[in-house]
Amino acid sequence: MWRVYLVYFFVLLFALLIVGKIIYIQVKEGDELRALAKTQELKVFTIDANRGNILDDKGNLLATSVPVFEIRMDVASPNIPDALFNQNVDALAAGLARVIGQKTRQQYKAILVKNRKKGRRYVWLGSKVTYDQLKELRKLPVFNRGRNAGGLIVNQTPRRELPFKELAARTIGFESGNKKYLVGLEGAYSDILSGKNGQQVKRRINHGDWVPVYDENDVEPRDGLDLQTTIDINIQDIAENALLRQLLNHKAFQGCAVVMEVKTGKIKAIANLTYDSTDGKYKESYNYAIGASIEPGSTFKLPNILVAIEKGNVKLTDSVITGVGFEVIHGVPVQDVHKIKTGRITVRDVFEHSSNVGMAKIITRTFAEKPKIYTDALYEMGLNRPLGIDIKGEGRPLIKSPEDKDWWGTTLTVMAYGYEIRQTPLQTLTFYNAIANDGKMVKPRFVEAIKVGDEVKERFETEVINPQVVSPETVKIGQSLLEGVVSEGTAKNSFKNCGYKVAGKTGTAKIASGGKYRRDYNATFVGYFPADDPKYSCIVSINRPTNGKYYGGSVAAPAFREISDKLYATTIALHVNNQLAEVDVPPPMPEDPVAYDDLQDIYAELNIKAADLITTENWAVANNEEGQVIIEPADDQFKRNVVPDVRGMKAKDAVFLLENKGLKTRISGRGFVRSQSVRPGTPLTKGRVIKLQLAVY
């Protein structure tokens, strides 16, 4: 029995030790272990805030966040029987290849089989999957059994989308790398757009799933605010297409086109295109207008001539000898494109015909003994200071001073026609905008308001940089000179038969490379319109044209003309109100059929009375009969057996009309019909293909 008692004793002792340990754990270590268990059972998850939208001035989306999904699978889930998996793995792999398309059917099958054998529970199948693709995935074999029984794991993440793609893409910008890269408006207003992430406590349940606890520690996310910009997407489209056309025509490396509202400084369009040799296309990859601090060349003759007039008592009627267009001035060989008139010209002629020889003589003879008066006057204008715009990466301007170490005996001479100084295209435009604005220099701005839905949280107002860059009298002289460049000078050929006044200046600057000026040029035209009542200022700058032409008047000015023509026709005419009635000008007649409601609105806005012969809403045309506008139906051409004119129509209306007449349509672009491949009035041939080119007007 003693052996029995001995065994009993040890069993009793072991039991007592267990009970003692339990008591020790409960009493001594209980609080610590309970806290540890809770951390393993409960976890705080971050709830991402929705990023705010970026809008144009009329509320159109320029940038927004859309959900995309990462797809994974609990391929070794015990809820998926082997028989079910083996029977459906081929069909599942084929579906993954068809819907996601990031692997082949064979590759997906190998991934599924291999990871099931290894017991993997979290296998990657694809990323950047759209919601439509996700709906298709949920219908696939195995996945169609539901979340737990089918093993489908979906992780949602937001992706930033630009609905208008390349339009103003670099100015809209992006944020990446945990805010390491902050580009454009996305970067400048990141904190406002980002909002504030929330927190939610979740509990772990079966199969490692987490479910919300919904306790008082939850923090709701605060979504980002919306940013309403000053950009008008229609003007942006006009500027970008005009710039692209000239870049292609002249095989240039890069360029920019910026449109600014004169009174307010609002940037209505900013296009930046750079040639990408990898695919042979122009892309918005660098904000040339803001970041490129370059020697401006002849566009800097405007501040120079104004300083000479204001500080040196130079008069437009003063005589300057330019000879044959070549002279060595202070040791610098200075050359004009050609001899100007007789070789003895006025100061006005020097500016309007962009004479380098004449400008060098005016500046050197006026300021050679007192160069600091000249540079101080440029500083007073504000040309040596950055604009301080919100977008990061603004190039720094450079205006040398006689006190600088790199001020040479030749510096004053070459500064006279725009060298040894630096300005970005936007800085140059801002000065010209000030002249259009009667001397008041306003800061370019890209943002109109910060909003939540339709509620405005903060509105941005016009900021004045310099209330008067030069005296009002000198401003008037500057305006007269800029109008003369277009009517009599270097831009005359580009603005022939222009139905409104334009003021501006051409600029052609050699580009320094390796310390030497080679045959690479930057061609610019900058100005404003209409000159008698400026509404918009604009700059077009084209870098390294290589197709033979390189002067600002022949390379950049045509893009400016295209922009100003279209803006004047589509925008400014809507602001003249009663002015048409005050002069003997025939009322405007649209060339193409227009929606009835739109045609009525146009004439109502222009305060022009129109006789209405239409009793139902339809397409309409306007005719001028003895000064009276007659609105008539445009249906006749649609009823006849000819190809109708669908230009100006929405795509769906044009397609409906043409296909009802037996034609086949091919569409490219977006917006409204800009052109059609078959001429209107051509006899109808059923089955014929007609191509429609769309554009945003």
Mean pLDDT within 115-129: 89
621 and 653, same domain (yes or no): no
Which comes out higher in pLDDT, residue 236 or 211?
Answer: 236
pLDDT > 50? residue 626: yes
Indicate the pLDDT class of residue 198, thresholds 50, 70 and 90. Answer: confident
- Residue 340 in tokens: 């100007």
Mean pLDDT within 107-120: 92
Which comes out higher in pLDDT, residue 34 or 684?
Answer: 684
Instruction: Look at residue 184 and tell me if it is in a domain.
Output: yes
Which comes out higher in pLDDT, residue 109 or 650?
Answer: 109
Among the three residues 548, 572, 596, which one is the final residue of a domain in this structure? Answer: 572
Instruction: Name, of 534-538, 637-641, 656-660, the range with top average pLDDT.
Output: 534-538
598 and 494, same domain (yes or no): no
Separation of alpha carbons 262 and 533, rounded Å: 10
Per-residue three-class SS string for 583-635:
CCCCCCCCCCCEEHHHHHHHHHHCCCCEEECCCCCCEEEEEEECCEEEEEECH
Separation of alpha carbons 156 and 70, rounded Å: 6
Peptide bond into 530 cis (omega under 30): yes
- Residue 600 in tokens: 């009525």
Nearest by Cα to 427 from 381, 372, 363: 381
133 and 250, same domain (yes or no): no
Instruction: Look at residue 284 and tell me if it is in a domain.
Output: yes
Q: Which phi-psi region, left, alpha or beta, contains residue 557 (left: φ > 0; alpha: ψ -120 to 50)?
A: alpha
Nearest by Cα to 602 from 574, 630, 581: 574
Instruction: Average the pLDDT over each of 290-304, 552-566, 668-682 and give the range with the smallest value.
Output: 668-682
220 and 354, same domain (yes or no): no
Instruction: Average the pLDDT over each of 369-378, 424-433, 680-689 and give the range with the smallest value.
Output: 680-689
Instruction: Look at residue 492 and tell me if it is in a domain.
Output: yes
Number of domains in the chain: 5
pLDDT for position 619: 65
| Residue 155 neighbours by CB distance under 10 Å | 11
The whole domain housing 309 covers 237-572
Among the three residues 534, 553, 572, which one is the final residue of a domain in this structure? Answer: 572
Angle between helices 30-41 and 2-27 (to 10 degrees): 70
pLDDT for position 178: 63
- Do residues 511 and 521 touch, judged by C-beta distance below 8 A? yes
Q: What predicted TM-score, i.e. pTM, was given to this entire model?
A: 0.73
**36 alpha carbon, distance to own chain's centre:** 52
pLDDT > 60? residue 221: yes
The residues, ordered by sequence, that sit 6+ positions from 293 with a Cβ below 8 Å of its Cβ are: 395, 396, 397, 398, 422, 423, 424
pLDDT > 90? residue 405: yes
Q: 656: domain CATH number?
A: 3.30.10.20
pLDDT for position 599: 67
181 and 243, same domain (yes or no): no
pLDDT for position 612: 58
Separation of alpha carbons 655 and 662, rounded Å: 11
Instruction: Average the pLDDT over each of 136-140, 142-146, 519-523, 685-689 and give the range with the smallest value.
Output: 685-689
Which comes out higher in pLDDT, residue 552 or 614?
Answer: 552
Instruction: Look at residue 353 and tell me if it is in a domain.
Output: yes
pLDDT digits (tens, 9 = 90+) for 62-113: 998 888 888 999 898 888 999 999 999 999 999 999 999 999 999 999 999 9
pLDDT for position 583: 43
Q: 354: domain CATH number?
A: 3.40.710.10
Please give the DSSP secondary-structure letter assigned to residue 53.
P
303 and 441, same domain (yes or no): yes
pLDDT for position 180: 67
| Residue 84 neighbours by CB distance under 10 Å | 15
412 and 319, same domain (yes or no): yes
Strands 536-543 and 516-529, by their bridges, are antiparallel
pLDDT for position 43: 75
- Do residues 305 and 479 touch, judged by C-beta distance below 8 A? no
Separation of alpha carbons 528 and 551, rounded Å: 19
Instruction: Look at residue 232 and tell me if it is in a domain.
Output: no
% of the chain exceeding 70 in pLDDT: 86
* Angle at alpha carbon of residue 358, lines to 385 and 423, rounded to 5°: 20
Instruction: Average the pLDDT over each of 18-32, 276-290, 610-624 and give the range with the smallest value.
Output: 610-624
481 and 536, same domain (yes or no): yes
Please, what sign has the CA dihedral across residues 136, 140, 146, 152? negative
Instruction: Look at residue 631 and tell me if it is in a domain.
Output: yes
pLDDT > 70? residue 177: no
Token look-up 């397409």 returns 619
Please, what sign has the CA dihedral across residues 660, 663, 666, 667? negative
Indicate the pLDDT class of residue 448, thresholds 50, 70 and 90. Answer: very high
590 and 564, same domain (yes or no): no
pLDDT digits (tens, 9 = 90+) for 365-400: 999 999 999 999 999 999 999 999 999 999 999 999
Mean pLDDT within 619-645: 64
101 and 119, same domain (yes or no): yes
Instruction: Name, of 10-14, 161-165, 356-360, 587-591, the range with top average pLDDT.
Output: 356-360
Mean pLDDT of the residues in the chain: 86
Strand partners, 422: 398
Instruction: Look at residue 413 and tell me if it is in a domain.
Output: yes
72 and 184, same domain (yes or no): yes
157 and 262, same domain (yes or no): no
pLDDT for position 252: 96
Which comes out higher in pLDDT, residue 467 or 684?
Answer: 467
pLDDT for position 587: 58
Instruction: Average the pLDDT over each of 129-138, 154-163, 575-584, 655-664 and give the range with the smallest value.
Output: 575-584
- Do residues 323 and 357 touch, judged by C-beta distance below 8 A? yes
pLDDT for position 581: 39
Name the CA radius of gyration of the chain, rounded.
35
Instruction: Look at residue 62 and tell me if it is in a domain.
Output: yes
- Residue 371 in tokens: 């160069």
Indicate the pLDDT class of residue 574, thresholds 50, 70 and 90. Answer: very low
